[in-house]
Structure 1
């Protein structure tokens, strides 16, 4: 099945791209510049496309991103440290981000003759990001079926929507994903910070999967304290 993968350059979407390349017909990677502060991830998306031998298309929606103000990912707000499943992480929500990106991706896929659009939303994001939940992906798929009725039939392929990030690490390893060639950190420094929500989640995922984490972190041990603090807070 001809499949277009939305790829940010992060661990999840790069692992998805490698999985699709092995199981389907990968037609290309699609990335978005929405004005994110950690836009260095886009370089990793380009590297992934080159590695897999497919086109990489970068869509500039930074003007739209600038209007979606109030997120620590786009504005001059401090990116919080800690676990994703904490209320403080809501400042990293970019409203309607996935809906906007997916709508563009489906239009491009229809124009190209693709049969599916793949996105790496996963179960670990459900608490904080409403547009990563099954209710959203199911509704979006139904909406696109109506939007393209009589023109194209395109599947929304979200194989991780009910699975954890540890499952993604396991799947990525199965398909020889070079994890060191992915970028997750929201702070966009020289190394992964090890303290922001996505770094903590990344470290935890490798540990749960029992797979060595090749990532260089500025604070490689913070994740244990963050998880302990979150567990104590929920007790």
Structure 2
């Protein structure tokens, strides 16, 4: 395997949520050159994610690349009506396949996926074995390229606690599954966000629409 060159950028899959935003801040603090990639796969909160991604990319100096895959949603809508927040099955596999091509184009040494320990219960595409298999394939296709999930061994609370000293503005990140002007405070992602800040012992700056019950 060819070594990753020091000048090679990281290609970071950035959703604007807690984990990918934290990883962006961490890599920026380490002085690593990055290109951010955001994907519209038909998720309801796409516009809110993109607003967060644009802001974070401006703060950390990495102009984002936007990939529009929302037309794919129609092919899967009927089967996935019951999980409207996951309109594209196995999206990590699809997004990483596209990221391999982008990485080759931008001469990136790593593709970074911001999974956390709690994500591993969401299916095979969020587990360490999957990341390793995709990394092996990526290296075969593009010698020297690696796929990594640096935060996969940490909880959301641990990620918040480790990144907060870097001065990240958590209030400009977006977790809510809905497309409202404020994060709802009641969807699964909002509940996980609330719980993580509480567990980390860090004030949650999020402007939720509804208070917890």
Give the corresponding residue for 1:83. none
Please report the TM-score for the alignment, with normalisation by the length of structure 1: 0.80
Q: 1:164 aligns with which of 137, 146, 155?
A: 155
Residue-pair matches, total: 204
Q: Secondary structure at the match of 1:25?
A: coil
Equivalent in 57, 66, 70 of residue 65 of structure 2: 57
TM-aligned CA deviation for residue 147 of structure 1: 2.2
Q: 2: CA distance between counterparts of 1:99 and 1:115?
A: 19
Residues of 2 paired with 1:128 and 1:157: CA distance?
Answer: 18
Unpaired runs of 5+ in structure 1?
Answer: 80-90, 223-235
Tell me by how many angstroms 1:29 deviates. Answer: 0.8
Q: Aligned residue for 1:32?
A: 39
Q: 1:45 aligns to what? A: 53
Between the aligned partners of 1:101 and 1:172, the Cα distance in structure 2 is 25
Using the TM superposition, give the Cα deviation of residue 10 of structure 1 relative to its aligned residue in structure 2, in angstroms: 1.2
Give me the CA root mean square deviation. Answer: 1.8
Q: List 4+ stretches of structure 1 deviating above 3 A.
A: 91-94
Cα displacement string for residues 113-161 of structure 1 (whole angstroms, at most 9, x for unaligned residues): 111111111111111243111121111111212222xxx3112221111
**In 2: Cα distance, 1:56 partner to 1:15 partner:** 16
Q: Could you give the per-residue CA deviations for residues 32-67 of structure 1, whole angstroms, max 9, x where no partner exists?
A: 111111111111101111111221110111122332
Which stretches in structure 2 are left out of the alignment for 5+ residues? 1-5
Residue 198 (1) aligns with residue 198 (2): no
Q: CA 1:60–1:139 in 2, change beyond 3 Å: closer, same or farther?
A: same
